[in-house]
Amino acid sequence: MKLIRNGRKLTGGDWMVKVKERGRAKFRPSPDYDIDEVRKILNKKIQEEKLSIEKGVNDEIVDEVVLDREKANIVSLFSGAGGLDFGVELAGLDYVFGKSKVDNYLKDKELFDSIRDKGVFHHSYAIDNFKEALETYKMNFSDDVFLHRTDIKKVKRFPAGDLVLGGFPCPGFSEAGPRLVDDPRNFLYIHFIRCLIETKPKFFIAENVKGMLTLGKGEVFRQIKQDFEASGYKVYHKLVNARDYGVPQLRERVFLVGVREDIDFEYRFPEPTHGDSLFLEPYVTLRDAIGDLESDPGDYFTGSYSSIFMSRNRKKSWDEQSFTIQASGRQAPIHPGGMPMKKIGRDKWIFPDGEHNNRRLSVKEIARIQTFPDWYKFSRGENERISLNGQLNKVYKQIGNAVPVELARAIAQPIAEWFFRRKVDNS
C-alpha cells in the first residue's frame, strides 16, 4: 500500500507511524488528512473493534428483523426510552395527516394507535443495554420492532434500514462530568459508524451533548464529524436549544444529520418555531406544561440535597423554561412553586421558605417537560426489593437521557418530507 502526503510516497512503515501519531484513542486528528486516509484509519479501528466481539455471539439475529417494504425502516442504536424514535415517528405522521390533526390524536393513546401504522416510518430494530429502557420501548412501540438487549460492541451484524438513529453515550463529553478525553465510553460512536458502513442507510440522525463541541479545544468533534463523513455521508451539524421548538426546557444539544453521498438532497435544520419574536409562537413555560399537575404530581424522588446540588440555583419560575432535565432523580430541578432560591454566598444557595416547602420535579412532570405524552409508559423494573427512590431513579435516568420528543420531531421533518415525497412521486 502506497499513499501520497505532501508530495511524498508513504511506505507501510510510514503509514503505521501516521496511525500512531494520529492516535484515535487520544483524539489528536490532523487537519491535512484527506478523506481516503481517514477512511483507511477508520476501517482499521473498526476491524480492531470487531476482533474484540466475543466468540459465539449470535450473528444471525438480524435475520429476525421484520422490514416494511412500503415504508422507511428505522434502525435505532442506543435507543433508550425512545424519545428520538417517537419524535421521528410523529414527523412521519405529520406529512400524512397534518401536524394539528396528529396533535389531536396524540392526546389519546387509543386514537393515536389507530393512525400510527399509516405514517412514513416503520420501527424495525432497537438496541440498548439498559434493561428498563428497553422495557419502556416495548411498552410504547409496535410489536413488529425487534428489541435487542445487548452491548452494541457485541453486535456482529446490523440489520438493514433506511434511517439510523442514535444518541451515542457521552459521559466524557458532558460539561456536567469529568470531560475525559480518553473515556472509553466516548468511542462507542465507532459502532454507530460501523452500522453505517455495513448497511448504508439513506440517512442518519445522531444527537449528543453540547460539551462535545469544546472537548479537546474542538478537536474531538472535528474528528467525530470527519469519521462520519468518511463512512460515506454528507454531514450537517448544529447546536440547537430545545426551547426554540416548543419544549419547556433550556436544553442545548448537538445534532449530526447524515445524507448518503449518492443522494441528491441538502438537509437544512428547521428554523425555530418558538421565541420572543412576533413571528414565532411564544416559548412554552413551566406553567403551560405542568401547571395542571401541581395538586397531583405523581411520584417524585425524595431525600436531602447535597452541598453540590445547593451550590447553584436549581429552581425556575412558573413563567420560565425548566433547567435541563438530568438523568438522575437526585439531580432533578426543583418544582417552581413557592419562593425562589436565594444566594447567600459563593456557591451556596438556600430555600428561603424552607426545604420542606420545596421538592424535586416528579417523573410525570419531567416527562411532560421532555414532551412525552401522558400515556407514555416508563418501566421501573421488576425488583420490588429496591427502594421507591431506586425504582424512580431508573425512570428519571430514562427520561433525562431521552431526546425531547418535539425537538426530535422538528429535526426529522426534512427527512420525513423527503421519504413522503419520494413515496408520492413513485405512486
In a domain, 224, yes or no: yes
**Whether 36 and 139 share a structural domain:** no
- Tally the domains of the chain: 3
In a domain, 279, yes or no: no
Q: Which of 102, 120, 170, 361 is catalytic?
A: 170
**Whether 124 and 14 share a structural domain:** no
**Whether 154 and 256 share a structural domain:** yes
Would you call 170 a catalytic residue per the annotation?
Answer: yes
The CATH number assigned to the domain holding 296 equals 3.90.120.10
Q: Which domain holds residue 46?
A: 3-51
User: Edge-to-edge, what's the strand order for the sheet holding 121-128?
Assistant: 146-149, 121-128, 72-77, 163-166, 203-209, 252-260, 233-241
**Whether 81 and 130 share a structural domain:** yes
In a domain, 209, yes or no: yes
**Whether 216 and 307 share a structural domain:** no
In a domain, 277, yes or no: no
The residue length of the chain stands at 427
In a domain, 366, yes or no: yes
* The one-letter amino acid at 375: W
In a domain, 364, yes or no: yes
Nearest to 379 by CA among 140, 68, 101: 140
**Whether 338 and 231 share a structural domain:** no
- Strand 121-128 versus strand 146-149 pairing type: parallel
Q: How far is CA 43 from CA 5, 50, 196, 197, 263, in A?
A: 19, 10, 12, 9, 23
Give the three cell numbers for residue 83.
424519545
**Whether 330 and 197 share a structural domain:** no
Per-position pLDDT tens, the chain of length 427:
333 334 444 343 333 333 333 444 444 444 555 667 766 776 777 777 666 665 555 566 778 898 999 999 999 999 999 999 999 999 999 999 999 999 999 999 999 999 999 999 999 999 999 999 999 999 999 999 999 999 888 888 899 999 999 998 765 444 444 433 344 555 788 889 999 999 999 999 999 999 888 877 787 788 889 889 989 999 999 999 999 999 999 999 999 999 999 999 999 999 999 999 999 999 999 999 999 999 999 999 999 999 999 999 999 999 999 999 999 999 999 999 999 999 999 999 999 999 999 999 999 999 999 999 999 999 999 887 899 999 999 999 999 999 999 999 999 999 999 999 987 676 5
**Whether 252 and 303 share a structural domain:** no
**Whether 225 and 371 share a structural domain:** no
